[in-house]
């Protein structure tokens, strides 16, 4: 299973399809073939592995897969059916497919008389697939909320200036995170105040190969001369402040991960509505004071209402720190 997970890591890091790995074993436990999913429209991991065998070569083999074989028709056929037709003798997988339409593969396999073992290295695989699993189960993109602040929690000086609180290493790390998400989301207030490009760029200012889809939340239109209108992925203007509706629409557009760089209003609204899965905070060793807090009102009126997080990593970036935290339940509602 660990080797299947290694194979899965070769698949695309972004997009609507899970990165899955599969290893086919004979009765002696020897690897006969292996495969992984390369992206939308390509063979799934199980089919990719079986395609490397001669006709009838999969009969009686054990398929070890990181994710429960799918049970639906999409751009490709159901893997459960493909395994049955190939005569696979046994299936072992790590985590269930939470998809309303794609799940149920294990029941289909068992109904066909194929033994199925589940839960092998489930925690390890689920952690690696965490973004995709949360998106699939909640039917909305996985949301990473980012902000940069001083030690005293300020995101800007009293006059609104904020460039730059953090150093170059932290800012480059932000660009890498942008490239690692399907979409980047801000409010119209941020667009009007900062005129950002929201592109993912390298050390030399060059555009990185993977760019996030820019999404602007709010009812006001983006100015016609805004730099954001030159973004290589185009621009999504939501025309609404309803963040649940926005995320639902993005999910329908095959967006599975969203990087939020909006101001305190958007950030606070996401938190209040339990729509944040990861918090990425860049903390600079500086003090600013004043009213410009990184977060707006969270609806916490008493200390018993504070929102507890679990810190998963602290990474030094020059003089700054990148703190990654998540909701203690591991997912949002």
Annotated catalytic residues are 46
- Chain-centroid distance of CA 244 in Å reads 17
CB-based contacts of 113, cutoff 8 Å, min separation 6? none
Per-residue tokens: 119: 């839960």
Please tell me what DSSP assigns to residue 207. Answer: B
CA distance linking residue 50 with residue 56, whole number of Å: 9
Residue 125 φ/ψ, nearest 5 degrees: -70, -40
Nearest 5°: the CA angle 165, 167, 171 is: 95
Assess contact for 231 and 197: CB atoms under 8 A: yes
Could you tell me which of 174, 102, 91 has the C-alpha nearest to residue 132?
102
Could you tell me which of 156, 125, 173, 155 has the C-alpha nearest to residue 21?
125
Please report the DSSP string for 76-126 in residue order. Answer: S--HHHHHHHHT--EEEEEE----TTT--HHHHHHHTT--EEE-TTHHHHH
Backbone dihedral region of 156: left (phi > 0), alpha (psi from -120 to 50 degrees) or beta? beta
- N-to-C CA span, the chain: 30
């Amino acid at each position: 299973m660990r080797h299947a997970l290694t194979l899965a890591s070769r698949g695309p890091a972004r997009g609507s399809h899970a990165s899955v790995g599969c290893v086919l074993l004979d009765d002696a436990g020897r690897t006969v073939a292996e495969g992984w999913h390369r992206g939308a429209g390509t063979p799934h991991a199980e089919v990719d592995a079986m395609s490397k065998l001669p006709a009838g070569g999969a009969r009686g083999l054990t398929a070890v897969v990181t994710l429960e074989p799918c049970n639906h028709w999409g751009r490709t056929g159901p893997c459960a059916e493909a395994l049955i037709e190939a005569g696979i003798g046994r299936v072992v997988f790590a985590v269930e497919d939470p998809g309303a339409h794609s799940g149920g593969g294990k029941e289909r396999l068992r109904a066909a008389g194929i033994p199925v073992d589940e839960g092998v290295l489930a925690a390890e695989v689920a952690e690696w697939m965490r973004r995709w699993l949360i998106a699939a189960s909640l039917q909305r993109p996985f949301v990473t909320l980012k902000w940069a602040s001083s030690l005293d929690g300020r995101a800007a000086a009293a006059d609104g200036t904020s460039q730059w609180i953090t150093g170059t290493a932290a800012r480059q790390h932000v660009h890498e995170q942008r490239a690692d998400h399907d979409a980047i989301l801000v409010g119209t207030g941020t667009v009007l105040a900062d005129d950002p490009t929201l592109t993912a760029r390298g050390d030399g200012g060059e555009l990185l190969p993977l760019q996030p889809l820019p999404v602007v939340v709010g009812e006001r239109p983006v100015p016609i001369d805004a730099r954001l209108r030159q973004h290589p992925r185009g621009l999504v203007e939501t025309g609404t402040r309803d963040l649940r509706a926005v995320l639902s629409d993005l999910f329908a557009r095959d967006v599975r991960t969203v990087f939020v760089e909006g101001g305190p209003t958007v950030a606070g609204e996401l938190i209040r509505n339990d729509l944040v899965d990861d918090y990425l905070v860049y903390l600079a060793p500086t003090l600013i004071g004043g009213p410009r807090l990184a977060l707006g009102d969270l609806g916490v009126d008493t200390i018993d209402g504070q929102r507890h997080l679990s810190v998963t990593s602290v990474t030094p970036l020059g003089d700054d720190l990148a703190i990654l935290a998540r909701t203690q339940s591991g997912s949002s509602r």
